[in-house]
Structure 1
Amino acid sequence: MNSPFIQTQTGSASVSINKVLKNTYILLGMTLAFSALTATLATMMNIGGGMSLVLMLVGFGLLFVVSKTADTGKGLFWVFMFTGVMGASLGNMLNHYLAMENGASLIMQALGSTALIFFALSAYALTSKKDFSFMGGFLMTGMIVVLIAMVANIFLQIPIMQVVISSVVVLIMSGFILFDTSRIINGGETNYIRATVSLYMNLFNLFIHLLALLNIIDD
């Protein structure tokens, strides 16, 4: 027979997990909207490749600030700073695609595909409640291999390697969506700011590499 104390503890844990999940999705929606706004402004300002690179490097620097302040009241400010800068860093890339005849269509297809993958995988993780923590080591190893391949391809310039890299990144980011959502559901991540940043980065990379793949396929 279950003790009332155990039942209360289980119920409290469930409420806490649901609260983290709810706050994560609300904050994720807000940061994605803000990121879209800064990306649009950067596109209108026609920023160059150099500025986009600087903004991305600043964004990665802010990632550490967000991690350090996630448990404080300043965390929300820094997460918006981070996502805003990362969104702005896409300005030059978006202008590159918009200059193409079907560029706007490719961007919308990439956005739609990103949203579809995210909602489908999130729904699966939420309904199945499976623990995908076992994927963590594999996914991190995959990312290290991909980063090495990306650096190598800067010098090698092999077209087919870009297709392989983007395809693998799409698979890895899809895996990370399952992994990160599972961590929230199973109590492995209790800070909604850190959870938001993890999911944001999954979507950010998923969008970029889906866009690259769609462009290659369209050619």
Structure 2
Amino acid sequence: MENRSYGIGQRTGERSIIAHKVLRNTYMLLAMTLLFSAVTAAAAVGLGVQRMNILLFLVGAYGLMFLVHRTANSAAGLLSTFAFTGFMGFSLGPILSAYLSMSGGPQLVMTALGMTGATFVALSAVVLVTRKDFGFLANFIFVGVIVLLLSMLGAWLFQLPGMMLAISAGFVLLSSAMILYETSQIIHGGQDNYILATISLYVAIYNLFLSLLSLLGMGGGGDD
């Protein structure tokens, strides 16, 4: 019995060490990819790049994300990760340019950035401090993605710009749920690949920032 208890305790300790390593590597890579995205976004703003064709963006984004998942267990996964996040940052540049050209635009962008950072830190702290398992959010996230994508399609087909307010709010909730879920997966051993964990958190932060920026903009942040 004692040997069995010792074995269980040893395995638990090993899982804890692995989870800590994955979490540390994830946060290090996440910080580097966010910085790289900021550089590529700034380059796009400085070069005056026009907004990318939606079809080209979707092919590029999903193609590179597919590449990341295919190479996540090899050294090439890091290159794929930076290619994906660099592309996403570059595509963000024209959007930032549009907001920065508005009256009060720089303050609006900085507010959205600050809110995004504060939200990420707060949600991560909830998981890391309470150690609660948020695995139950998986179904909510899956359904939420489908509902929001269909809503976006409907808003585009039927020209319903007012619906974008609700969609942006929905993405804020969905992105927050993704941060809780992915962080929980890491510390509870459900995610042991730091590259895939980084990509999941990056996408959540990216969508959270864009959604908050959209909400602040529609709220009159750029009015004269």
Q: What is the TM-score normalised by the length of structure 1? A: 0.96
Distance (whole Å) between structure 2 residues aligned to residue 184 and residue 211 of structure 1: 28
Distance (whole Å) between structure 2 residues aligned to residue 130 and residue 157 of structure 1: 42
Deviations 1:47-92 (A, max 9, x none): 1123576345312210000000000111111101110011000111
Letter paired with 2:20: N
The partner residue of 1:106 within 108, 111, 125 is 108
Task: Note if contact 1:180-1:195 (Cα within 8 Å) is conserved in structure 2.
Answer: yes
Question: Is it true that 1:120 corresponds to 2:122 in the alignment?
Answer: yes
Letter paired with 1:142: G
Task: Note if contact 1:24-1:192 (Cα within 8 Å) is conserved in structure 2.
Answer: yes
- Quote how far apart the aligned CAs of 1:140 are: 1.1
Question: Is it true that 1:5 corresponds to 2:10 in the alignment?
Answer: no
State the aligned residue count: 219
- Quote how far apart the aligned CAs of 1:155 are: 2.5
Secondary structure at 1:4's aligned position in 2? helix
Distance (whole Å) between structure 2 residues aligned to residue 107 and residue 152 of structure 1: 28
Distance (whole Å) between structure 2 residues aligned to residue 90 and residue 6 of structure 1: 48
Structure 2's unaligned 5+ residue stretches are none
Letter paired with 1:116: A
- Quote how far apart the aligned CAs of 1:96 are: 0.6
The answer to which of 51-60 and 75-84 deviates more is 51-60
Task: Note if contact 1:52-1:90 (Cα within 8 Å) is conserved in structure 2.
Answer: no
Letter paired with 2:39: L
Equivalences for 1:1-219 in 2 at 5 Å?
A: 1=2, 3-50=5-52, 54-55=56-57, 57-218=59-220, 219=223
Percent identical residues? 45
Task: Note if contact 2:40-2:89 (Cα within 8 Å) is conserved in structure 1.
Answer: yes
Distance (whole Å) between structure 2 residues aligned to residue 114 and residue 74 of structure 1: 29
- Quote how far apart the aligned CAs of 1:29 are: 0.3
Deviations 1:21-46 (A, max 9, x none): 00000000000000000000011111
Distance (whole Å) between structure 1 residues aligned to residue 125 and residue 55 of structure 2: 34
Letter paired with 1:32: L
Task: Note if contact 2:52-2:91 (Cα within 8 Å) is conserved in structure 1.
Answer: no
Task: Note if contact 1:55-1:88 (Cα within 8 Å) is conserved in structure 2.
Answer: no
Distance (whole Å) between structure 2 residues aligned to residue 29 and residue 180 of structure 1: 16
Structure 1's unaligned 5+ residue stretches are none
Task: Note if contact 1:139-1:176 (Cα within 8 Å) is conserved in structure 2.
Answer: yes
- Quote how far apart the aligned CAs of 1:130 are: 0.9
- Quote how far apart the aligned CAs of 1:160 are: 2.6
Distance (whole Å) between structure 1 residues aligned to residue 103 and residue 54 of structure 2: 23
Distance (whole Å) between structure 1 residues aligned to residue 22 and residue 194 of structure 2: 5
